[in-house]
Amino acid sequence: MSPTRDGGLFLTLEGIDGAGKSSHLDALEARFKAQGRTVVRTREPGGTPLAETLRALVLEQPMTPLTESLLVFAARCEHIAQVIEPALARGEVVLCDRFTDATFAYQGAGRGFDTAVLSTLEQWVQAGRAGLPAAQLLQPQFTLWFDLAPEIAAQRLAGARVPDKFEAQPVEFFRRVAQGYADRATADASRFVRIDASQARDQVWQQIDTALVARGVLSQVQGAAQ
């Protein structure tokens, strides 16, 4: 486990739409609280009133990939300053539904947008934050990557709700996004924890719990929350 300077823990959940990552946030929050940790649960884009407004624009309005990327990082800048940094400084656990990996997967791999530009925006927004050295990026200590075949994810999403503009994309788009996540995981293997999201919900939770116990993030308990 690699805590921040002040003892906070930054944990993110990533994966394509339909992978089921958000359904395990309740159990994760309960596990940390059972260990006496204070938990801040949030999401991206979003997490602050302004960032939620930008989220609505990103999810619903047509725009160029550059505009989309700028709005995502603008929301992230507010989110870090208003929510993530203060929570980590207090030594709390931040559980975030998506972070910068999603930008490289969706806008980079999915949209085909220039990843060099994304890297520049990442430096502007995330370098030297939360008490880190000026050149170091604020990143999660651990990222749970819910890996699922896009075809299965599409079946899960079918008819679930009115899709936003990303959920309405064809399967080929999500194949690119999934590969984008795989590339990020390969490049930062020590941070990523791959979760086989094709399994039943209780089996997926067991993977999460076992992996985080093995990495010293959670302690072993009997009757873990499901």
Helix (H, G, I), strand (E, B) or coil at 12: strand
User: CA 216, 210, 160: angle at the middle one, nearest 5?
Assistant: 120
Report whether 15 belongs to an annotated binding site: yes
At position 65, the amino acid (one-letter code) is P
Report whether 189 belongs to an annotated binding site: no
Distance of CA 188 to the CA centre of its chain: 14
Note if the bond before 150 is cis, omega within 30 degrees: no
Report whether 20 belongs to an annotated binding site: yes
For 200, phi then psi, to 5°, come to: -65, 160
Report whether 21 belongs to an annotated binding site: yes
Question: CB of 59 within 8 A of CB of 166?
Answer: yes
Report whether 18 belongs to an annotated binding site: yes
Report whether 165 belongs to an annotated binding site: no
Binding residues for ATP: 15-22
Binding residues: 15-22
